[in-house]
Amino acid sequence: MRLDKAVSSARGVSRSAARSLILGGQVCVDGIQVRDASCQVGAQSVIGLGADLIPGVEPAHQYLVYHKMLGEVCSREDAHHPLVFRHFNDNMRHPLMTVGRLDQDTTGLLLLTTDGRWSHRVRRPGHHHKCYEVTLSESCLDSVQDQVLAGVKLEDEHRPVQVQRIERMASNQFRLWIDEGRYHVVRRLWAALGYHVVGLHRSSLGPLHLDIELGQWRPLTQAEVDLF
């Protein structure tokens, strides 16, 4: 198997991102730095990723939670918006990937990791409800909660959005729990009901609740990693 394919598969990144890591000197095979993406590796090869590599030993994975700020994007490159990766030094930044994404107008809980398999487990539909706090541009009737729970059909999609639970926080603010990965699903849900979302914050993902200040990050404990 080509080295770039192996890195892509193991880390859950694109082939082009894997090639960038290899060309940047971030990858070792059996303790030797390799910059050739076409290098062939076998099932017994030990592939290391990161700046501080121990020869022949796979470095420990990183698992982080970050309180995303308004206006930041989860991309690797963006000429017009600040990146979430700017908060991490070079040694950490290159192997890290976000577990899913939050758009630039959404704040809250964002997970990052170097473990592609763990990232896939976290993102599997039907396993981990996400809690969002929603602020609308106007107040709405109590009946809207029943509409949301009944399932909302999005434009050009056959399968309705299913919300597991919804709580009213104020006349124009709600907290809802959803297990969906569709693009901008919360904003589109409210738009389908005739409302405009002006504030969106993710406060929890599965059993993990946000407990750090805006713009801060911390490593997950092993117990928290094992929750997923």
Residue 17 has pLDDT above 90, yes or no: no
Question: Is residue 54 one of the residues assigned to a domain?
Answer: no
Active-site residue, from 30, 78, 103, 146: 103
103 is catalytic: yes
Measured CA to CA, the distance from residue 77 to residue 228 in angstroms comes to 29
Question: Is residue 79 one of the residues assigned to a domain?
Answer: yes
What is the token pair recorded at 71? 């206006």
| Three-state DSSP state, 84 | helix
Question: Is residue 55 one of the residues assigned to a domain?
Answer: no
Q: Is residue 116 domain-shared with residue 137, that is, in the same domain? A: no
Question: Is residue 56 one of the residues assigned to a domain?
Answer: no
Count of beta carbons in the 10 Å neighbourhood of residue 97: 19
pLDDT at 182: 85
Task: Report if pTM > 0.85.
Answer: no
Question: Is residue 58 one of the residues assigned to a domain?
Answer: no
Measured CA to CA, the distance from residue 156 to residue 151 in angstroms comes to 15
Residue 199 has pLDDT above 50, yes or no: yes
Q: Is residue 146 domain-shared with residue 184, that is, in the same domain? A: yes
Q: Is residue 107 domain-shared with residue 217, that is, in the same domain? A: yes
Contact partners, residue 182, CB within 8 Å, separation at least 6? 154, 157, 161, 188
Q: Is residue 150 domain-shared with residue 189, that is, in the same domain? A: yes
Which range among 123-127, 172-176, 205-209, 211-215 shows the weakest confidence by mean pLDDT? 123-127
* Whether the Cβ atoms of residue 118 and residue 185 lie closer than 8 Å to each other: no
Residue 21 has pLDDT above 70, yes or no: yes
What is the token pair recorded at 15? 């082939």
Q: What is the dihedral of CA 55, 61, 64, 69, to 10 degrees?
A: 70
Instruction: Provide the residue range defining the domain that includes 170.
Output: 130-205
CATH of the domain at 193: 3.30.70.1560
Query: How many Cα atoms occupy the beta-carbon half-sphere of 180 within 13 Å?
Result: 22
DSSP state of 87: G
pLDDT at 50: 65
What is the token pair recorded at 63? 């698992």
Show the CA angle centred on residue 102, arms to residues 118 and 17, nearest 5°. 60
Residue 31 has pLDDT above 80, yes or no: no
Q: Is residue 114 domain-shared with residue 134, that is, in the same domain? A: no
Measured CA to CA, the distance from residue 85 to residue 73 in angstroms comes to 9
pLDDT at 189: 95
R_g over Cα of the chain: 20
Q: What is the pLDDT of residues 160-179, one digit of tens each?
A: 999 999 999 999 999 999 99
Order of strands, edge to edge, in the sheet holding 32-33? 32-33, 27-29, 47-49
Q: Is residue 147 domain-shared with residue 159, that is, in the same domain? A: yes
Domain count, the chain: 3
Q: What is the pLDDT of residues 55-93, one digit of tens each?
A: 444 557 889 999 999 999 998 888 899 999 998 877 676
Measured CA to CA, the distance from residue 145 to residue 218 in angstroms comes to 35
